[in-house]
A and B are shown apart, each in its own frame.
Chain A
Amino acid sequence: MLELFTEFFRQLAEDHPRWNFIFFYEPRQWERIVKGFKYTLWLSVACVIFSVIIGVVGAWLQNSPSKFLRRCVQGYIQFFRNTPPFVQLLFFYFALGQFTPAVTGPDGWTEIPIISNVGWAIISLSFFAGAFNVEIFRSGIEAVPESTQEAASSLGFSRFQTYTEVVMPLAFRVSLPALNNNLVNLVKTTTQAIGIAVPELLYQCVTIWNDFPSAMYPTMLLLFVTFIALVGVLVFGMHRWERAMKIPGYGH
């Protein structure tokens, strides 16, 4: 079966030189794709989780009584929202990366920075998407009536309990559609990690078509299909979640 499959694409490449799906019949190229996909998946999952955490915490701090904290969050949002994510990535890796300590590698003479390029990509992309998530959650929080929060405090809820038990669950529901959009963008933006040589899917694909120019169209096609699938899974999950969180009789 697999034999037939590889044979088909080998033949296709011979008949049509522009459609060389080399990764379907040459194990070495296939391994590159799999490795790249794993990195893309890892970047996506880690950045989605961290950026949502940053969003929740940031929105909480934005309502903090401390003016200083509120200013800090505001500054953070302004910086990360108003500068290109690719520039941020380069800045984190090349500028900040210089100041992080390095440890000596297993061979005894190379210096390995404690935050790798993958680490910096996750940090940079999470902060980038997190800035938008703060704004998304803030608008959700503002949709929760002040009077509902007063009811919570009159029942003895602390500020933190009111936030976790009442404000966040309601704000989250309101925020989900906008959050959905931002996370979709985030997953697609992970391809920019190629700029600091993170071996994710785009990086691997470019490597393949540099080695085999005849494989350029197929690899591009593969990129599109993979991201459509990846984002499709995310959107499907988010919609399921949205439906599961729907409150009977609420918001009509």
Chain B
Amino acid sequence: MSNNSWSPDQPIVSIKDVHKSFGDLEVLKGITFDVMKGEVICIIGPSGSGKSTLIRCINALNDINSGSITVEGLEVHDPKLDKLELRKKVGMVFQQYNLFPHKTALQNVMMAPIKVLKQDKAEVEQRARALMAQVNLQGKEDSYPGELSGGQQQRVAIARSLAMNPDVMLFDEVTAALDPETVKEVLVAIKDLAQSGMTCMLVTHEMGFAREIADHIYFTDRGVIVEHGPPSTFFTEASDPRTREFLSQIL
């Protein structure tokens, strides 16, 4: 479990035969795949297929029943794991933004580096302002989340995760709760991030977007990966009937 054993040419996220049940309901039935550094992968599939559960298992918001997940060599579900070590490496953005409503946008971005990483406040503020600019929110630094639109809140949430300097970013259906007109501004922010070389894992229903930015697409249904491949072939040459049915409904 030593972190030193990991090198960048090994998968940054490695998922091996992961099983996960909620009570009697088995939502993940043996998921295995690797993500390399700098890769952008999209997980798609019908509702209830276990996509969100899978992504939540990667930063230990959910535990798993068997199998293993490693992030940069860290065994995510090792009970002895220092969760902070994991959370420093993995950023996560949620469907419902989940900003801290009692803090301004800028304070939301600054909070974790200051409180968790004990970094210098002035230096964090400078970086936070740069991140706010990166997600196109100059001028909104002092707004409270309740004063921002969904798309703006979601971009603050992205900036907030980035402030921790993660190596991997997880996006859990981050546009699902947004108005159609604000979806684009969030997708642009994610695209910029992906193009800057950040390792990204997205659960999404935005097929056009997945096709555009993903290096690899995984289609899950009823807890298993039914089909996967690069977008160039995935959307045109899907062979499994379940994948074809899903794509025909969505595209």
Contact = CB atoms under 8 A, between A and B. Distances in A.
Interface string A207-237: 0000000000000000000000000000000
Interface residues of A, number: 24
Interface residues of B, number: 31
B102 A250 contact: yes
A240 to B, nearest CB: 18
Contacts of B59: 154
B98 A249 contact: no
Nearest to A170: B102
Interface stretch (A49-57, A111-119, A133-141, A157-165): A157-165
Contact of A151 (B99, B116, B117): B99
Given A247-B102, A250-B102, A155 B144 contact: no
A81 B143 CA distance: 42
A231 B30 CA distance: 63
Interface stretch (B86-94, B201-209, B210-218): B86-94
A166 B101 CA distance: 9
A150 B102 contact: no
Interface of A: prevailing SS: helix
Count chain A CB atoms within 10 A of each CB in B102, B117, B147 and give the residue with the most.
Answer: B102
A63 B83 CA distance: 20
Contacts of A158: 84
B80 interface: no
A250 B146 contact: yes
B127 to A, nearest CB: 15
A150 B99 CA distance: 11
Interface in A158-195: 158, 161, 165-166, 169-170, 173
Count chain B CB atoms within 10 A of each CB in A145, A156, A247 and give the residue with the most.
Answer: A156
Contact of B87 (A153, A170, A173, A251): A153
Contacts of A170: 101-102
Contacts of B83: 153, 156
B61 A150 contact: yes
Contact of B115 (A147, A151, A157, A252): A157
Nearest to B100: A166
B213 to A, nearest CB: 22
A165 B84 CA distance: 16
B143 to A, nearest CB: 8
Contact of A169 (B102, B146, B160): B102
A249 B145 CA distance: 7
B111 A165 contact: yes
Contacts of A157: 112, 115-116
Nearest to A151: B98
B161 interface: yes
A169 B90 CA distance: 26
Nearest to A166: B100
A251 B147 CA distance: 11
B136 interface: no
Contacts of A161: 115-116
Contacts of B90: 154
A148 interface: yes
A160 to B, nearest CB: 11
Given A156-B112, A157-B115, A147 B102 contact: no
Count chain A CB atoms within 10 A of each CB in B94, B101, B144, B148 and give the residue with the most.
Answer: B101
Contacts of A166: 100
Interface in B56-105: 59, 61, 83-84, 87-88, 90-92, 94, 96, 98-102
B164 A248 contact: no
A247 B116 CA distance: 24
A156 B87 contact: yes
A230 B94 CA distance: 47
Contacts of B84: 156, 158
B61 A155 contact: no
A165 B148 CA distance: 21
A154 B144 CA distance: 21
A159 to B, nearest CB: 10
Contacts of A151: 92, 94, 98-100, 157
Nearest to A154: B92
Contacts of B112: 155-157
Contacts of B111: 155, 165
Contact of A155 (B96, B148, B160): B160
The 3 closest A-B pairs by CB, nearest first: A249-B146, A151-B98, A156-B87
